[in-house]
Amino acid sequence: KSKDLKGYAPICLGLEDFYTRRLYLRIQDCFGRPIASAPDSKIDVVERFSTDNNKTLQRTTNTTSCINLGSYNYLGFAAADEYCTPLVIESLKKYSPSTCSVRVDSGTTKLHAEAEELVARFVGKPAAITFGMGYVTNSAIIPVLMRKGGLIISDTLNHNSIVNGARASGATIRVFQHNSPSHLEEVLREQIAEGQPRTHRPWKKIIVVVEGIYSMEGELCNLPEIIAVCKKYKAYTYLDEAHSIGAIGKTGRGVCELLGVDPADVDIMMGTFTKSFGSCGGYIAASKEIIQYLKYTCPAHIYATSMSPPAVQQVISSIKVILGEDGSNRGALKLSHIRENSNFFRSELKKMGFEVLGDNDSPVMPIMLYNPAKIPAFSRECLRQNVAIVTVAFPATPLLLARARICISASHTREDLIKSLEVISRVGDLVGIKYFPVENEKA
């Protein structure tokens, strides 16, 4: 399907079936297990089997405590928090877990209104709208913004929720090479005759969709350059900040803040509450007119039950901590912790000879395994040594680009990180994934 796999397609089609049907079952066997704790710096993983004295396998519900390098708990809010948790419990008692209604009936609580104002202020846009699920935010909003006669230009590595939203819209879809402003320009040039005034071009509307941090690459978007191309060709920009909002930038305001982009230059800012804020749901932040339009027209706003009130309270409280509006400096400390932790971990992994993707400051850190057969070996062995790491492979990545994807949190202590590095290094030797010379051998 992808340009990169051209020529390999027939082989891959066979392998696709093999790996998804067989290997995936084995991967699930080593990782996709129930968790019996909050997704904090440590998690309790439920064991599937244990052996008795006769070495026969028994089903069990015992748990093992592991260092958690697998959850998107970037700022550590997905655990009991001295400011957030009491407020969330209070909101649960006051509002119950569900509004039992859609937004336009009686599903808009005071909390929903407060959260939308706060999110808009936090990301630097005039207005915002929230949804019960991050995935749905992309897959339901893109078809409202775009339709037949429009053109969506999407980064090749955009998340599945964007791909599905684009497909559902009926607009024409073109992809540009991952994070490449020059290829984006090439695609735009192909689609619009250069110099044509906006009203005469063939498309009703053109929107370019990118992510702040790419979830499988850990890479920051080349946002300033991409925005410059969009401005030149008068295309709208749609930025998914699922992994970047709250996690990067001096005050947690994501990739715009880190790369010095004015949020006014991004037309649609999308994000999720499931990562840095330790909650559920997603948002779109944009001009008042766009948000008003979405409120009137988006089926996911009109027909779906609104976000759970305790989840909304968690969003409000965690953003207040990030902004220092809880009266403490914990937000600033969390932000400096995640930066230091990410940069320390990435540089140590590189010194050990691993091929690590992603940019500095990014808490998403893929270690390349390449060969899909190394996935279960790596994952299982790390788990056996009490480090829980998620491995990702086809179809989330191209077939032969399997990787382990580490997510760093502000709640990891230096001790957690050092212990994890020791385990990853040992398992890396065992599985044979140190593709570069270790640092002291380089000299």
Binding positions for ligand PMP, rule: CB under 6 A: 133-135, 138, 159, 161, 211, 215, 240, 242-243, 272, 274, 282
Cβ 279 vs Cβ 311: under 8 Å: yes
CA 91, 94, 98, 104 dihedral sign is negative
Q: What distance in Å separates the CA atoms of residue 240 and residue 137, rounded to the nearest whole number?
A: 10
Q: How many other CB atoms are there within 10 angstroms of residue 115's CB atom?
A: 26
Cβ 77 vs Cβ 84: under 8 Å: yes
Residue 86 CB, nearest approach to ligand PMP (Å): 25
Q: What distance in Å separates the CA atoms of residue 235 and residue 225, rounded to the nearest whole number?
A: 13
Residue 284 CB, nearest approach to ligand PMP (Å): 12
Say which residues have a Cβ less than 8 Å from residue 245's Cβ, sequence separation at least 6: 123, 212, 252, 253, 254, 271, 272, 275, 276
HSE of 382 in the Cβ direction (CA atoms, 13 Å)? 30
Residue nearest to ligand PMP (CB): 134
Nearer to ligand PMP, 41 or 279 (CB): 279
User: Which residue has tokens 């630097």?
Assistant: 124
Nearer to ligand PMP, 70 or 428 (CB): 70
Residue 359 CB, nearest approach to ligand PMP (Å): 16
Residue 10 CB, nearest approach to ligand PMP (Å): 30
Q: What distance in Å separates the CA atoms of residue 314 and residue 320, rounded to the nearest whole number?
A: 10
Residue 215 CB, nearest approach to ligand PMP (Å): 4
Nearer to ligand PMP, 152 or 423 (CB): 152
Residue 104 CB, nearest approach to ligand PMP (Å): 22
Nearer to ligand PMP, 103 or 159 (CB): 159
Q: Where are the alpha helices (DSSP H) in 192-307?
A: 223-232, 254-259, 288-297, 299-302
Nearer to ligand PMP, 19 or 277 (CB): 277
228-242 b/e (C-beta count within 10 Å ≥ 16 → b) = ebbeebebbbbbbbb
Residue 100 CB, nearest approach to ligand PMP (Å): 21
Nearer to ligand PMP, 218 or 282 (CB): 282
What is the 8-class DSSP label of residue 299? H
Residue 274 CB, nearest approach to ligand PMP (Å): 4
For 63-96, the DSSP string reads EEEEEE-SS--TTS-SS--TTHHHHHHHHHHHH-
Q: Where are the alpha helices (DSSP H) in 173-266?
A: 181-191, 223-232, 254-259
Nearer to ligand PMP, 40 or 240 (CB): 240
Nearer to ligand PMP, 132 or 428 (CB): 132
